[in-house]
Amino acid sequence: MRGGRTGRTAAVAVAAVLAGSAALTGCSSSGADADTPPAALLALPADAEAEAVGGGKQPAFEPSDVHLAVGRSVGMDIRVAPLPHGWRLADGGDTALLHRDEDAEQSTCPPKTAGCGHTVRQSWTATAAGSTTLSWRYVDFATCKDAQNPTTCKVLASKDVRVTVG
């Protein structure tokens, strides 16, 4: 396995730094305007880290915690590449607390170009006080009964983001 324990440790450390940054920046800016970055911005682990985790050693990445004020937003950057495995949103959280905003392309790489990936930002705006969890699954697309429904696929890894509004 490339990277070994050091690679897994680095991936966990990066996730922890991202989680800490999200918690610290959770009330710094408004996410309601499309030109304004989300108050909390995270990124799912890269495919290489997810592939290593998907080997069964540690099926879930550490959860991240985000604290938002009503009207602020949280964004998750997801790298989409033409691979047999990839990240899919499994649970968009409680719609009474978070409104799902429109996905936004973050890179110029054309989708489905051989050897090329692009980044999509999924974001939610806080609408009411409370707590909910956003969940992503790194899945094997070859096993999916429905490609758009990650619950029908073999899950190789997972990442949760706990969002507290208030």
CA distance 37 to 22: 12
At 29 the pLDDT is: 34
At 106 the pLDDT is: 81
Dump pLDDT digits (tens) for 73-107.
999 998 877 678 888 899 999 999 999 999 888 87
Dump pLDDT digits (tens) for 49-75.
887 776 655 677 889 999 999 999 999
The third-level CATH classification (topology) of the domain covering 4-165 is Immunoglobulin-like (2.60.40)
The answer, yes or no, to whether residue 149 has pLDDT greater than 80, is no
Q: Which residues contact 96 (CB under 8 A, 6 or more apart)?
A: 127, 128, 130
Dump pLDDT digits (tens) for 104-124.
888 766 656 666 677 889 999
| CA gyration radius, the chain | 16
Arithmetic mean of pLDDT over the chain: 75
- Asked whether the whole model's pTM tops 0.85, one would answer no
